[in-house]
Amino acid sequence: MTTTPSLEPDLMNPALIADPYGGFGQLREEGPVLRGRGMDGSPTWYVSRYDDVRAVLSDPRFVTSATAVPGGAKSDMRETMLEMLGIGPELGIYLTGSILNADGPDHHRLRKLVSRAFTVRRIGELRPRVEAIAASLLDAFTDPTDLVTALDYPLPITVICELVGVPEADRPKWREWGQELMAINPATASGVLRAMADNVQALIEERRARPSDDLLSALIRRHADEDDQLTDIELVTMVFTLVMAGHETTAHLIGNGARALLTHPDQLDLLRVDPSLWPGAVAELMRFCGPVLITGMRYATEDLDVAGVRVEQGDAVQTVLVSANFDPREYDDPQQLDVTRRPSGRGDGHVGFGHGAHYCLGAALARQEGEVALRSLFERYPDLALATAEPEWVPVPGMRRLARLPVRLG
């Protein structure tokens, strides 16, 4: 028997967009699996409790591509959204054909192509460069300043673009394109996607003629390897995905984290007294105010039960990270930000980076950038304070993003 929630789990519901913590928290307590609507209005199951979220994300019977369901899924939100945004199949493939939407051997093949660039060892080697970029950005601060434009975006987009091989002159464009796509605007989406694809294709031709010591040049070499079978579309899509995923979410982890610490001075004081707490603090901030609230769509490849609820083959399912990360069944006092909180023995101790086969490829890089950015910020400006009490959130479904974060330096 399914539960009838008092607040329909609908990603476009203004109440859930305005208060995802309270709204999805309420839904979590009304039932572990609730029937609602996806961003395109199609029927969707929402899984909201910590253990159930982990179970779904690690279950190979749930796939990310509707085409991987025998006989096809009952609906395909990605295709519907592309139609709503006026994006045709020739451009839509750069969104639907990414590593994020691949399953099984195909996903493993694509992930293997780039995984070496994101190992803990490789990320550790990048740390001095990340610290240098952060220092140069902090040097340029004026009083007051907007952290979103002065630090949150410039740091991760510089790091990922250097890693991938996107020229410095193109980086402001990528930030603009990312914000345009996140706005879900039918008037601009197709044009933005075309500009991004053209940019990547031109960059690929440049790297083919003049290879460099970057990830794109390495991917181009793999492109010529018949064993890996990296197609032209996959090559463009991989660059697109890495640059977009590599800066948008990290930017908002930094911004949300800075605001959380400024509004919890007792926790910031603990970090000042004991800087060794910073790595764990970043994990706690990812739990407490991570930017990704809900995972992408999953589809059931067969009839199965989730937390006692029957999910049929072809049904769409979304796991709610924000409610799982505040589940009192998993965390003591989950509403409290606690930089001394440590994992209970299950990975990160949160699901902010997802779980299972699609666990965030760039998690180690995001953690490092978050730690470097926040620690450097508060060490450089110990009297930093919010310049406005009310945060300005971007009303985007499934994400928690600050439009601005004005601060005074002291």
In the chain, the amino acid numbered 20 is P
pLDDT given at position 151: 98
According to DSSP, the residues that pair with 306 across neighbouring strands are: 309
Mean pLDDT for the chain?
92
In the three-class reduction of DSSP (H, G, I as helix; E, B as strand; rest coil), residue 326 is classed as coil
Which residues are registered as beta bridge partners of 401?
A: 394
Query: Cα separation of 325 and 290, whole Å?
Result: 9
Side-chain-facing half-sphere of 7: CA atoms under 13 Å: 18
pLDDT digits (tens, 9 = 90+) for 177-198: 888 888 788 899 999 999 999 9
* Per-residue pLDDT reduced to its tens digit, 211-234: 999 999 988 887 555 566 678 888
Q: Which CATH superfamily is domain 14-408 in?
A: Cytochrome P450 (1.10.630.10)
pLDDT tens-digit map of 364-391: 999 999 999 999 999 999 999 999 989 9
CB 375: neighbour CB atoms within 10 A?
18
Neighbouring residues of 356: CB distance < 8 A, sequence distance ≥ 6? 54, 57, 58, 59
Whether omega before 211 lies within 30 degrees of 0, making that bond cis, reads no
What is the average per-residue pLDDT within 398-403?
A: 94
> In the prediction, which pLDDT does 1 show?
40
Q: What is the DSSP letter of 256?
A: H
Per the CB < 8 A criterion, the answer to whether 299 and 318 are in contact is no
Q: What CA–CA distance (Å, rounded) separates 319 from 46?
A: 6
The per-residue pLDDT for 266 is 98
Instruction: Give the global pTM.
Output: 0.93
Tell me the β-bridge partners of 126: none
Phi, psi for 44 (deg, rounded to 5) = -145, 140
Q: Which residue has the tokens 């990975």?
A: 347
Beta bridge partners of 123: none
Domain boundaries, the chain: 14-408
* Helix 189-209 × helix 232-245 angle, to 10°: 110
pLDDT surpasses 80 at 6? no
Q: In this predicted structure, what is the pLDDT of residue 22?
A: 94
For 143-167, write each residue's pLDDT tens digit.
Answer: 999 999 999 999 999 999 999 999 9
